[in-house]
Amino acid sequence: MNGLALQLDCPGEQHFRLQVDCVLPTTGVTAIYGPSGSGKSTLLDCIAGLRRPKSPGHVRFQGESWMTAETFVPPWQRRVAYVFQDARLFPHLNVQQNLDYAVSRRTHDDGPGMQQVVCWLELAELLQRSPAALSAGQKQRVAIGRALLSAPRLLLLDEPLANLDHSASQQCLIYLQRLTKELQLPILYVSHDIEEVSQLADYLVLLENGKIADQGSLLDLCGRLDTRLSHEEQAAAIVLGTIGQGDPEFGLTELEVEGQTLLVGLQQHAPGQRRRLRIPARDVSVCREKPLDSSILNILPVTVTEIQAQGSARVLLRLALGSQYLLSRITRKSATRLQLQEGDQLFAQIKSAALLMDSADNHE
Amino acid sequence: MSNAELDAIGLTIALAAITTILLLIFGTPLAWWLSRQKAKWPALVEALVAMPLILPPTVLGFYLLLLLAPDTAVGRAWYQLTGTQLAFSFSALVIGSVIYSLPFVVQPLQAAFQRVPEDLLKAAATLGANPLDQFRSVVIPLTRRSFVTAASLGFAHTVGEFGVVLMIGGNIPGETQVLSIALYDYVESLQFAEAHRLAGGLVVFSLVLLIMLYRQDRRDNWRVRA
């Protein structure tokens, strides 16, 4: 039996109860997304075994019972590595010793080796330093390395970038992406930052007030109107494309999406690579005729599949582009003026599209 | 220095050393347990541990004497086990000293354990460390200084004990006559020169020990980052 089966009923730290009954995938990166106080950390604590709910429930990992009414596997026997928001390096050990701490407690030798981890996370320079002498980003890299060196079967990351400044968190994100590609390790990634989630996750779980509001593949959930994501200011669809020819003269690169060509900022990547493209709903406008002399480069033919009013002034559209979806947030006035209806053939003008760093899209 | 004085010194050191070792063995788990309690009721245990701080040692000695007398259950069990009487023996002194010096070992350890963040132990647990391993590999290294403090205070306090010893040990040279008792003897019999020798020696010993403690206190100050 595959997956991580959870049935939990557990009071959280604030005024909510974590109540979930679900099966999460145990391949790739699963993001648990929700506002603070929605029970994300409580959920991870239950999975790691750091917390045992009093109410009946279960935690089963790939058919193995970690928690049932009768059994409770303690955290040190679960082989679940946990990277905390605050790194939690041992202050009396230097970086090398912190890494050794994990290696010497391995019960199985199927994890990555010391040299490999030091190389991936570029820790060689830091090995002799004390944790107190590290920057927040360096601490987090060491914590990730230490977690991997325990040869885990499941890696839990609890907002590992939340304490980092922007550039450190971007850098750390690149390291994490490298790891998700190199390792065949299921990862649960807790975050309240949808952009981080879009970069890393394959599967998305939306947690609200201790309950799972929705779950599904990242691309699917981001392109739907009936989730909380679509109501957020930064709502954005994510589409998959293939890198095409570059145009160094104008600093642009072609990206093939569903037989259409989009232009994005110049990429260093070789043509043929599959990449994610994040297109914010507020940067997509629609028109009935294809404008011929617009300054906007990316104008794609789409079909309206769903229209949803958001408040009194705005409307969110779900636009089909082949088998993928775009979101567009426009004013209700425009929607009325254009007499938009489901099934309408329109042109979507995309003002900005950010190519995400991830290049390991193998899910559908 | 007379043979009796040398005996008293040897006895005092043996008593303090055995007491300190026993206190570290039993006091460490007790201090750990107390440091991890969130409920209020362990206050009773804490109060019991702290009692010797405020009770006159003679009170403690009096009750211990009653408890260890040959006609009590404890006294009889001891006799059956060892064939010797418990009251007025070296073993009785050890029992009394362990109780009497308990707070001096448990309290510094408990305070140090409370400063060890639970979060670090959770991190250790997810890295495969069981509770005993967590204690050995995280708690002890982070509280090493407090172990030295606790052992020194326990040792020094046992050396300075008088009331309890007098009540349950009496004054048997080579068996229960420790330094403080020998000193008392000298004063009683107006042998002030000898009394000075012992009293002065104890003053110097205590001072040196405390200076060493406070120096190390200042030297390695481990702190958890906020």
Size of interface A-B (CB pairs under 8 A): 67
d(CA A77, CA A19): 25
Structure-model confidence comparison of residues B41 and A173, the more confident one: A173
* Total structural domains within chain B: 1
Its domain, for residue B74, covers 3-219
Q: What is the mean pLDDT of residues A263-281?
A: 84
CA-nearest of A36, A48, A39 to A88 is A48
In this predicted model, what pLDDT tens digit does every residue of B162-187 receive, in sequence order?
888 888 887 888 888 888 888 888 89
Q: Is the pLDDT of residue B39 over 80?
A: no
Helix (H, G, I), strand (E, B) or coil at A308: strand
User: Do residue A50 and residue B126 have CB atoms under 8 angstroms apart?
Assistant: yes
Q: Which residues of A touch B147 (CB under 8 A)?
A: none
**In terms of pTM, does the model score above 0.90?**
no
| Closest partner CB to B125 (pick from A76, A93, A107) | A76
User: Do residue B127 and residue A102 have CB atoms under 8 angstroms apart?
Assistant: yes
Structural domain spans, chain A: 4-222, 236-355
Identical fold between A4-222 and A236-355: no
Chain mean pLDDT for chain A: 89
Q: In this prediction, what percent of chain A has a pLDDT beyond 70?
A: 96
Which ranges of chain B would DSSP assign to H, the alpha helix? 3-35, 42-54, 57-68, 73-82, 90-115, 118-126, 131-134, 140-159, 163-168, 179-188, 192-219
Res A250: pLDDT: 85
- Write the ipTM: 0.85
C-beta of residue A339 within 8 angstroms of C-beta of residue A286 = no
Q: In this prediction, what percent of chain B has a pLDDT beyond 70?
A: 95
Q: What is the mean pLDDT of residues A204-210?
A: 91
CATH architecture of A4-222: 3-Layer(aba) Sandwich (3.40)
Model confidence band, residue B226 (pLDDT cutoffs 50, 70, 90) = very low
Q: Which residues of A touch B126 (CB under 8 A)?
A: 48, 50, 75-76, 78, 80-82, 147, 150
In this predicted model, what pLDDT tens digit does every residue of A23-32 receive, in sequence order?
999 999 999 9
Chain A residue with the nearest C-alpha to that of B225: A132
User: Do residue B222 and residue A91 have CB atoms under 8 angstroms apart?
Assistant: yes
Res B218: pLDDT: 61
Res A359: pLDDT: 44
Q: Is the pLDDT of residue A49 over 90?
A: yes
In this predicted model, what pLDDT tens digit does every residue of A52-74 receive, in sequence order?
988 889 999 998 999 998 899 99
Res A364: pLDDT: 33
Q: Is the pLDDT of residue B220 over 60?
A: no
Helix (H, G, I), strand (E, B) or coil at B63: helix
Q: Is the pLDDT of residue B221 over 60?
A: no
Which ranges of chain A would DSSP assign to H, the alpha helix? 40-48, 95-103, 114-120, 136-149, 166-182, 194-200, 218-222, 332-337
Q: In this prediction, what percent of chain A has a pLDDT beyond 90?
A: 54
Q: Is the pLDDT of residue B223 over 60?
A: no
Helix (H, G, I), strand (E, B) or coil at A1: coil
CATH architecture of A236-355: Beta Barrel (2.40)
Q: Is the pLDDT of residue A363 over 70?
A: no
A interface toward B at CB cutoff 8 Å? Answer: 48-50, 74-82, 84, 86, 88, 90-93, 101-102, 105-107, 132, 146-147, 150
Phi, psi of A345 (to 5 degrees): -95, 120
C-beta of residue B104 within 8 angstroms of C-beta of residue B24 = no
Q: What is the mean pLDDT of residues A22-43?
A: 90
CA-nearest of A3, A42, A36 to A19 is A42
Q: Is the pLDDT of residue A361 over 70?
A: no
Res B33: pLDDT: 93
User: Do residue B125 and residue A74 have CB atoms under 8 angstroms apart?
Assistant: yes
Chain mean pLDDT for chain B: 88
Mutating which of A45, A76, A148 best tests the B interface, going by the most B Cβ atoms within 10 A? A76
Task: Tell me, yes or no, whether B194 lies in a domain.
Answer: yes
Res A254: pLDDT: 87
Res B82: pLDDT: 85
| Closest partner CB to A76 (pick from B120, B129, B222) | B129
Q: What is the mean pLDDT of residues A14-42?
A: 88
In this predicted model, what pLDDT tens digit does every residue of B1-35 receive, in sequence order?
678 888 888 899 999 999 999 999 999 999 999 99
Mutating which of B121, B122, B126, B132 best tests the A interface, going by the most A Cβ atoms within 10 A? B126
Task: Tell me, yes or no, whether B224 lies in a domain.
Answer: no
The CATH number of the domain holding residue B25 is 1.10.3720.10
CA-nearest of A250, A70, A342, A157 to B126 is A157
Q: Is the pLDDT of residue A100 over 90?
A: yes
Q: Which residues of B touch A52 (CB under 8 A)?
A: none
Q: Which helix (H) or strand (E) holds A217?
A: strand A211-217
CA distance B125 to chain A (A): 5
Res B219: pLDDT: 53
Task: Tell me, yes or no, whether B54 lies in a domain.
Answer: yes
CA distance B109 to chain A (A): 18
Out of B66-80, B112-126, B142-156, least confident range = B66-80
